[in-house]
Amino acid sequence: MESNGTTVVERFLEIAVPAVRQAASIARALEGQVANRPKAGETTPVKAALTIADSAAQEAILAPLADAIPSVRLQAEEDTPSVARFAPEGDHLVVVDPIDGTLHAYLEGSGPYSVMAGLAVEGRYRASVIALPREDLLVYGRLGEPIAVERLSRNGAQERDGSFGLGAAVGEAELPRDVLVSQGVTAGTVERLRRAGYNPRFGSGGAIAIAPLLPGACAGLRVSRGPEGVSIRGRIGVMLSRSAGFAVAAEEGTFPDDLWSRSATLLVSRDDEGISSLRAALRE
């Protein structure tokens, strides 16, 4: 609780929503105009990918957050000046990924990229903000409350859970069939999804975590078989999907609601039937 009675979660959302909106505007404006300048020492091209858009977008998020809530810890994707302004320890952790999907989604244009910020308290996300610049979409909320869905181009116009553009009483043939998948999803799984009547297409981790909110999409499937599994940045949107009433799971059992319990898979769908279909595609 801050001295004026505002909680850190409330203050985070108050600052992060316009900051992520601004960062998304920067990323969108620089799209197609920036080059990859890979970071040294990273193990894969995906982790090494870096542009000046990543750095500028991150500073657009971090600078106002550091002014407002400098007492929180920070885990940020890039090394930019404002990183040093945050606290070295504490129960509140801000997690930022200024452009999720830099290499494949942003630079190569192979799917939706995302701009993300989340606030975790004692190892669990309590508030999240995700922008999808190409899709003109901004989604945010806090744990246990209805999420807000806005158009980036229409500041303030929003809808809360219940519709998400689905419309009323549409026929089954008109329902979305796109499944956003990560680079870690095998060709065999992709083919099984196609045979089941879905349209798999690549998406960044942030987009996958809120896939049912994207136009044309019904589900998201992420596979991260490395030691870390699905990263804590890749979990920022999970809280939003759960708050929206979507089904969230792992290949086996539930997907963890904390930051640190490992899971190699993340499945998100409009309903439990979709989760069953994703699991079947993974297992056959």
Q: What is the pLDDT of residues 195-244, one digit of tens each?
A: 999 999 999 999 999 999 999 999 999 999 888 899 999 999 999 999 99
Order of all β-strands in the sheet with 199-202: 199-202, 178-181, 217-223, 265-269, 247-249
CA 254 to chain centre: 19
Q: How far apart are the first and last CA of the chain?
A: 50
User: Contact, 220 vs 277, CB < 8 A?
Assistant: no
Q: Tens digits of per-residue pLDDT, 154-165?
A: 765 455 444 444
Q: Tens digits of per-residue pLDDT, 121-156?
A: 999 999 999 999 999 999 999 999 999 999 998 765
**pLDDT score for 170:** 34
Coil, helix or strand for 201?
A: strand
Q: Tens digits of per-residue pLDDT, 24-73?
A: 999 999 887 777 676 566 556 766 656 888 899 999 999 999 999 999 99
Percentage helix, strand, coil for the chain under 3-state DSSP, each rounded to 5: 35, 25, 45
Q: Please state, in angstroms and rounded to a whole number, the distance separating the CA atoms of residues 77 and 28.
A: 18
For each of the domains in the chain, give its residue range(s) and CATH number, in order of start.
Answer: 8-160 (3.30.540.10), 172-283 (3.40.190.80)
Q: Please state, in angstroms and rounded to a whole number, the distance separating the CA atoms of residues 105 and 133.
A: 11
Rounded to two decimals, what is the model's pTM? 0.88
- What single string gives the DSSP state of each residue in 109-148? --S--EEEEEEEETTEEEEEEEEETTTTEEEEEETTS--E
User: Contact, 156 vs 138, CB < 8 A?
Assistant: no
pLDDT over 60 at 5, yes or no: no
Q: Tens digits of per-residue pLDDT, 87-117?
A: 999 999 999 999 987 777 777 777 899 999 9
% of residues, the chain, pLDDT over 70:
85
pLDDT over 60 at 2, yes or no: no
**pLDDT score for 157:** 45
**pLDDT score for 53:** 86
Average pLDDT, whole number, for the chain? Answer: 87
**pLDDT score for 150:** 96
pLDDT over 80 at 1, yes or no: no
